[in-house]
């Protein structure tokens, strides 16, 4: 299906574009025809998912390829735990889709609005030092190359391309389907606690090695951090989900409603941000609950924001976070959104932020109606001093020249790009900046 393009905006409202046309293919053949038609017209073509990247990675000035009709389970093997999904499948549909097979993703991030192709292609990760980013779950993929050819990549077919295709930034082709290595469905026991922030930082390295999953949130202008520790249990373990009423109070009213209010008031009158942050600090409850993993890993995000995140060596996290705190205090900034700290295992995907090293992740945010540039630029300088690698789907200012120094297999990725998309059919301004023209 072809349509004229209305203005497209990403979720954070940091990017907007009016494509020359929009294609909505429902089959692999239709994707191939769309790529061929773009080439015949001399146009570039870009697939788009849910628009949850904060960068321009999915911006399509030429032909926008909407994969919303390419969804669902294509094949499932319960014995091996391998499931093939259409590339446009949103993560929030996976619990229902995978329930008949008793399977689940080994790890997830805290947002489930993205498509499976988008979340893996941008290097999205969860937390847990024994678990890699979501792209590490891919064992096979099918994609349409810049030449319009359908290419299969797996552990036995062109395995040399897997480390590039798993996390390809949308630069190598249009993903049609991905095969994931899943695990039996499991229960997570979550413990959320307010703890002294400095004590959390002091024990960071030991703690992330001891637990299955750890998430740390710190609101600037407060002395405590909210920690969320998730422990894995078998799928038949007892579950104690969050109650409907208490969940609405904690997650919708406090975590989202109050945060939206703080952000809106802080944008108008920044001086109110510190006392309001301390009020949230006092009101945030400690709680425990258990449920199937997707319900514990993910959370709703109705307060709109923009974000920057960097991966740095694991042991450097406490020093880097303290430098960010000192930066905020020194400049007298009023920051309404929390800083989030996580960890992930080393992996071998060439453009992974955790390539070849255990990594800690530090994410900073600003309300979408505030200008993040001064804050983000200063934090970015700190992260770069620790050898930080930017999340591809979150805001940063790095270029191909600086990124080549951070990713040892950067030029190997470019060679694969030359093979699969020699005419740069899938390029856009963001990819030209981070990969080079």
| More confident call, 232 vs 265 | 232
3-class secondary-structure state, position 283: helix
Residue 46 has pLDDT above 80, yes or no: yes
| More confident call, 415 vs 272 | 415
Q: Among residues 46, 66, 86, which one ends one of the domains?
A: 66
Q: What is the pLDDT of residue 262?
A: 74
Please report which confidence band the pLDDT of residue 254 belongs to, taking 50, 70 and 90 as the band edges: low
CATH number of 155's domain: 3.30.465.10
Q: Among residues 155, 184, 213, which one ends one of the domains?
A: 184
Residue 355 per-residue DSSP state: B
**Do residue 383 and residue 358 come from a single domain?**
yes
CATH number of 386's domain: 3.40.462.10
Residue 302 has pLDDT above 80, yes or no: no
3-class secondary-structure state, position 10: coil
**Do residue 292 and residue 143 come from a single domain?**
no
Q: Helices 273-283 & 259-268, crossing angle to 10 degrees?
A: 170
For residue 402, being part of any structural domain is answered with no
For residue 400, being part of any structural domain is answered with no
Residue 300 has pLDDT above 60, yes or no: yes
**Do residue 246 and residue 372 come from a single domain?**
yes
Tens digit of pLDDT for each residue in 134-184?
999 999 999 999 999 999 999 999 999 999 999 999 999 999 999 999 999
**Do residue 196 and residue 180 come from a single domain?**
no
**Do residue 166 and residue 313 come from a single domain?**
no
Q: What is the pLDDT of residue 4?
A: 57
Helix (H) or strand (E) holding 431: helix 429-435
Q: Is the pTM of this model over 0.85?
A: yes
**Do residue 156 and residue 198 come from a single domain?**
no
| More confident call, 350 vs 276 | 350
For residue 422, being part of any structural domain is answered with no
For residue 107, being part of any structural domain is answered with yes
Number of domains in the chain: 3
**Do residue 176 and residue 86 come from a single domain?**
yes
Number of CB atoms found within 10 A of residue 97's CB: 17
Residue 270 has pLDDT above 50, yes or no: yes
User: Residue 345 is encoded by which pair of tokens?
Assistant: 């295992």
Mean pLDDT of 101-113: 96
**Paired residues of 191 in beta bridges:** 229, 288
**Do residue 170 and residue 295 come from a single domain?**
no
For residue 62, being part of any structural domain is answered with yes
For residue 345, being part of any structural domain is answered with yes
In Å, how far are 213, 218, 242, 352 from 190, measured between CA atoms? Answer: 9, 18, 10, 28
CATH number of 20's domain: 3.30.43.10
**Do residue 232 and residue 163 come from a single domain?**
no
Please report which confidence band the pLDDT of residue 1 belongs to, taking 50, 70 and 90 as the band edges: very low
Please report which confidence band the pLDDT of residue 5 belongs to, taking 50, 70 and 90 as the band edges: low
**Do residue 126 and residue 272 come from a single domain?**
no
For residue 26, being part of any structural domain is answered with yes
Q: Among residues 169, 184, 199, which one ends one of the domains?
A: 184
Residue 259 has pLDDT above 80, yes or no: no
Residue 264 has pLDDT above 90, yes or no: no
For residue 367, being part of any structural domain is answered with yes
Give the pairing of strands 224-234 and 339-344.
unpaired
Residue with tokens 């920044």: 270
- Residue 104 near residue 293, CB atoms below 8 Å: yes
Rounded-to-integer distance, Cα 389 and Cα 408, Å? 12
**Do residue 138 and residue 29 come from a single domain?**
no
Mean pLDDT of 406-413: 98
| Domain extent at residue 239 | 186-390
Residue 5 per-residue DSSP state: P
- Residue 390 near residue 402, CB atoms below 8 Å: no
Mean pLDDT of 258-274: 77
User: Residue 369 is encoded by which pair of tokens?
Assistant: 């109606």
**Do residue 58 and residue 111 come from a single domain?**
no
């Amino acid at each position: 299906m072809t349509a004229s393009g209305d203005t497209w905006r990403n979720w954070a409202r940091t990017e907007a574009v009016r494509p020359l046309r929009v294609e909505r293919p429902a089959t692999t053949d239709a994707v191939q025809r769309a790529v061929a038609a773009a080439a015949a017209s001399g146009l570039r073509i870009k697939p788009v998912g849910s628009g949850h990247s904060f960068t321009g990675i999915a911006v399509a000035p030429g032909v926008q390829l909407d994969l919303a009709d390419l969804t669902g389970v294509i094949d499932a093997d319960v014995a091996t735990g391998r499931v093939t999904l259409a590339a446009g499948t949103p993560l929030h549909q996976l619990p229902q889709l995978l329930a008949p097979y008793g399977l689940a993703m080994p790890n997830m991030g805290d947002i489930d609005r993205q498509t499976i192709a988008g979340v893996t292609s941008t290097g999205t990760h969860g937390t847990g030092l024994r678990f890699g980013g979501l792209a590490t779950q891919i064992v096979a993929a099918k994609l349409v190359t810049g030449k319009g050819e359908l290419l299969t990549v797996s552990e036995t077919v062109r395995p040399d391309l897997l480390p590039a295709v798993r996390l390809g930034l949308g630069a190598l082709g249009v993903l049609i389907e991905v095969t994931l290595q899943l695990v039996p469905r499991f229960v997570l026991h979550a413990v959320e606690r307010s703890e002294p922030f400095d004590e959390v930082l002091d024990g960071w390295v030991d703690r992330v090695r001891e637990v299955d999953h750890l998430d740390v949130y710190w609101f600037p202008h407060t002395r405590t951090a909210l920690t969320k520790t998730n422990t894995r249990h078998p799928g038949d373990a007892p579950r104690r989900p969050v109650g409907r009423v208490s969940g609405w109070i904690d997650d919708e009213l406090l975590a989202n409603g109050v945060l939206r209010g703080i952000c809106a008031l802080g944008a108008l009158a920044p001086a109110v941000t510190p006392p309001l942050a301390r009020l949230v600090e006092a009101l945030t409850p400690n709680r425990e609950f258990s449920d199937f993993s997707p319900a514990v890993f993910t959370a709703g995000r109705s307060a709109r924001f923009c974000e920057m995140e960097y991966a740095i060596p694991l042991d450097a996290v406490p020093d880097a976070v303290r430098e960010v705190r000192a930066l905020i205090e020194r400049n007298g900034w009023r920051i309404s959104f929390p800083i989030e700290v996580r960890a992930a295992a080393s992996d071998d995907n060439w453009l992974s932020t955790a390539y070849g090293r255990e990594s800690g992740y530090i994410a900073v945010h600003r309300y979408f109606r505030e200008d993040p540039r001064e804050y983000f630029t200063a934090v970015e300088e700190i992260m770069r001093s620790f050898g930080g690698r930017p999340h591809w789907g979150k805001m940063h200012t790095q270029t191909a020249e600086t990124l080549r120094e951070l990713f040892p297999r950067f030029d190997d990725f470019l060679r694969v790009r030359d093979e699969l998309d020699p005419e740069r059919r899938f390029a856009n301004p963001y990819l030209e900046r981070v990969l080079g023209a």
